[in-house]
Amino acid sequence: MTNHGHGKSHNRRRGAVLATAAVALIALLGVSALAIDITRLHAAAQRAQAVADAAAFAGGTELPDPYTSVAAGFSVAAGNVVDHPEWPTTVGNDDVTYYPPGSTIYNPLTGEVITTLGSTTHALMAVARVDVDFSLARVVGVDAGERTRFAVVARGAATGAQVAPMWIAAGSPELAAGDYINLFQDDTAIPGSFGFLDFSDSGVSGWFQKLLSGYDVPEALAEAAFVEMGGIETAYTGASVGQWVKYLDQATGQDAGTARLERALNDPLWSTETFPGSPDNPRRMMVPLVNYLGSSGTNAEFEIVGLAEVWLESINQGSKEIYTKFIDYRYFSGGAGDFDPRDGGTGGVYITKPLA
């Protein structure tokens, strides 16, 4: 006697297994699809960030001019906006934005405050979007995605390479890279002036020491030491040898570790560097080129006509020598006003750095 019920039960179990396997396969395909397309989203985010970074830095080199900076940033962004079937990138007319000094900059994705600019700092933001047209993820009903990224670049008076409170006579013989300059001036020609300029109008206590060391310089002091072409500065005669030696060579007590040479020789970032070193090395200083106008002591006047960048080589307290090696000139191209930050323009003491 044949038991047909047993065969039907077996078929039902086999059918159930097949159905379960089919559901599991679909789920597995869905998970795999999402994993693959999530990877595509990460790649899209990297692409968007690269475009935003390139645009922001390109525009940043043209700051503080609001028009040329935006145009430069948008030009680079447009060059990266290609009609690629896999990475369609978009940068709209409002996605490259200039921010004047004093602006508060917000994260365009979260609305959080990134920073509030100082009175000499300009910034540029670039936003880029990359669309991802999903493929496998369509299995679970997800057709497309997008990744938006942004970059902000600021350009302002440098707080690590501002003008040091010294001067070099513009009438000196033309210098070549590596030439020695003693920044401590003999006061025979200009009585009472030993090569230092007065930036005390910043209102910052200890301004002379802070500018000499280039360490932890407050914004107000950096702004005061942001000189102008044709600007008139007076001499600072109150500096004893001990003062300038301490903050250029080796500080002690609560100021230990803040002198230029001390930091450069002991910090692993700079300790192995030789002339002319990296741009952020404390031994590199911007020193005004001046024309002596007349008078003596604290009344001695100097017209700022340019800048020289020098490398602090050594200090000799006994012989009153501040030995430096010449790096380069930063001349003005003409016309009154602030230093132009672009190297191809009129030289200057601006730095560019990413904020976000």
Based on the domain organization, do 195 and 324 belong to the same domain? Answer: yes
Q: Determine the pLDDT at residue 234.
A: 93
Domain-located, residue 349: no
Res 265: pLDDT: 94
17 and 91 part of one domain: yes
Mean pLDDT of the chain: 76
* Per-residue pLDDT at 261: 94
Could you read off the pLDDT of 69-113 as tens digits, one per residue?
899 998 888 877 665 556 566 666 678 999 987 888 899 888 998
Helix or strand run (H / E) with residue 222: helix 219-224
pLDDT above 50: residue 161? no
Q: Considering 157, 182, 201, which residue would you say is the last residue of a domain?
A: 157
Which distant-in-sequence residues (6+ apart) come within 8 Å of 89 by Cβ?
47, 48, 51, 80, 81, 82, 128, 129, 130
Per-residue burial over 105-142, b = 16 or more CB atoms within 10 Å of its CB, e = otherwise: beebeeeeebbebbebbbbbbbbbbbebebebbeeeee
Question: Based on the domain organization, do 134 and 177 belong to the same domain?
Answer: no
- Shared domain check, 172 and 29: no
231: in domain: yes
Between residues 31 and 101, which one has the greater pLDDT? 101
Do 196 and 302 belong together in one domain? yes
Question: Could you tell me the pTM of the whole model?
Answer: 0.54
Question: Within a domain: residue 180?
Answer: yes
pLDDT tens, residue by residue, 206-235: 999 999 998 888 877 877 777 766 778 999
User: What does the pLDDT average to over 297-312?
Assistant: 87
Are the beta carbons of 184 and 310 closer than 8 angstroms? Answer: no
Check whether 22 has a pLDDT greater than 90.
no
- Average pLDDT of the segment spanning 108-134: 81
Residues 293 and 191 in one domain: yes
pLDDT score recorded for residue 218: 80
Same-domain check for residues 101 and 225: no
Q: What is the mean pLDDT of residues 50-59?
A: 87
200-214 confidence digits (pLDDT tens): 888 888 999 999 998
Region of poorest pLDDT, from 36-45, 208-217, 313-322: 36-45
Residues 53 and 179 in one domain: no
HSE value, Cβ hemisphere, 13 Å, CA-based, for 248: 28
The position carrying tokens 């102008």 is 228
Among 157, 187, 211, where does a domain finish?
Answer: 157
Burial environment of residue 40 by CB neighbours within 10 A (0 to 12, 13 to 18, 19 or more): buried
Residues 142 and 186 in one domain: no
Q: How many CB atoms lie within 10 A of CB 353?
A: 12
144 compared with 215, residue with greater pLDDT: 215
Q: Are 234 and 180 in contact (CB under 8 A)?
A: no
Helix (H), strand (E) at residue 331:
strand 321-331
For the segment 15-27, the average pLDDT, to the nearest whole number, is 50
Query: Do both 147 and 19 map to the same domain?
Result: yes
Which residues lie below 8 Å from residue 244, measured CB to CB, with a gap of 6+? 184, 196, 212, 322
355 is a domain residue: no
Is position 79 within any domain? yes
Same domain, 146 and 176: no
Identify whether 353 is part of a domain.
no
Q: Tell me if 163 is assigned to some domain.
A: no
Domain containing 282 equals: 168-340
Query: pLDDT digit string (tens) for 246-258?
Result: 999 998 888 898 9
Determine the Cα–Cα distance for residues 43 and 127; give it in Å rounded to an integer: 17
Last residue of a domain, one of 88, 123, 157: 157
Q: Are residues 214 and 289 located together in one domain of the fold? A: yes
Asked whether residue 345 is assigned to any structural domain, the reply reads no
- Tally the domains of the chain: 2
Dihedral sign, Cα of residue 160, residue 165, residue 169, residue 172: negative
pLDDT of 11:
53
Cβ count within 10 A of residue 94: 7
Rounded Cα–Cα distance for residues 131 and 110 (Å): 19
Task: Band the pLDDT of 63: cuts 50, 70, 90.
Answer: confident
